[in-house]
Amino acid sequence: MLDPGFLHFVAVGFAAQLVDGALGMAFGVVSTTALIALGVPPAAASAGVYAVETVTTGVSGLSHLLLRNIAWPLFLRIVVPGVGGAILGACLLATIPAEKARPLVQAYLAVVGLWIFWRGLRHLHVERPPRFVAPLGLAGGFLDAAGGGGWGPIVTSNLLIQGGTPRTVVGTVNAAEFFVTAAPTGTFLAVLGPGLVSRAMLGLLVGGVLAAPLGAFLARRLAADTLMILVGLVLTATSLFGIVRALTG
Give the model's pLDDT for residue 242.
Answer: 79
The secondary structure of 40-80 as a DSSP string is --HHHHHHHHHHHHHHHHHHHHHHHHHTT---HHHHHHHHH
Tell me how far apart the 2 most distant CA atoms of the chain are, in Å: 53
Q: Give the pLDDT confidence score for residue 193 in this predicted structure.
A: 55
Residues 185, 197 contacting (CB under 8 angstroms): no
What's the CA gap between 20 and 170, in Å, rounded? 9
Residue 165 has pLDDT above 90, yes or no: yes
Q: Are 143 and 98 within 8 A, CB to CB?
A: yes
Distance CA 87, CA 36 (A): 27
Q: What is the structure's pLDDT at 11?
A: 92
User: How many structural domains does the chain have?
Assistant: 1
Query: What pLDDT score does 192 carry?
Result: 53
By percentage, how much of the chain surpasses pLDDT 70?
85
Distance separating alpha carbons of residues 172 and 192, to the nearest angstrom: 31
Q: Structural domain of residue 136, as residue ranges?
A: 4-248
Q: What is the pLDDT of residue 41?
A: 75
> What pLDDT score was predicted for residue 191?
55
pTM listed for this prediction: 0.86
195 vs 41: CA distance, rounded Å: 13
The CA distance from 77 to 84, in Å, is: 12
- The three-class DSSP label of residue 226 is helix
**Rounded to whole angstroms, how far apart are CA atoms 115 and 20?**
20
Distance CA 219, CA 143 (A): 25
Asked if residue 211 lies in contact with residue 17, where contact means CB atoms within 8 angstroms, the answer is yes
CA distance 157 to 5: 34
Q: What is the pLDDT of residues 183-217, one digit of tens each?
A: 666 655 555 555 556 788 888 999 999 999 999 99
> CA 221 from chain center: how many Å?
20
Q: Which of 20-34, 35-49, 170-184 has the lowest mean pLDDT?
A: 35-49
How many angstroms separate the CA atoms of 245 and 242, rounded?
Answer: 5
